[in-house]
Amino acid sequence: MPKRNSKQVNNKKQLEATEEKKMADGNNLIEFSNDNNDPVKLRCLVQELQNSLQQVQLKLNERDRLVVNQEKRIIALSDQVLSLKEVITLTKNMLEIRNTEVKHLQDDINGMETKMSGERSRHNDMMKKMDAAVTLNATLKNEYETQLHLFQELRGKYEEKIDLLLTENKNTHD
Say if pTM beats, i.e. exceeds, 0.85: no
DSSP per residue, the chain: -HHHHHHHHHHHHHHHHHHHHHHHHHHHHHHHHHH---HHHHHHHHHHHHHHHHHHHHHHHHHHHHHHHHHHHHHHHHHHHHHHHHHHHHHHHHHHHHHHHHHHHHHHHHHHHHHHHHHHHHHHHHHHHHHHHHHHHHHHHHHHHHHHHHHHHHHHHHHHHHHHHHHHHHHHH-
**Model confidence at 32: pLDDT above 60:** no
**Model confidence at 4: pLDDT above 70:** no
Q: Which residues contact 26 (CB under 8 A, 6 or more apart)?
A: 49, 52
Q: How confident is the model at residue 19 (pLDDT cuts 50, 70, 90)?
A: confident
SS (H, E, C) 13-41: HHHHHHHHHHHHHHHHHHHHHHHCCCHHH
**164 or 100, which is more confident:** 100
The mean pLDDT value for 99-108 works out to: 98
Distance CA 29, CA 49 (A): 8
The mean pLDDT value for 13-31 works out to: 70
Distance CA 5, CA 11 (A): 10
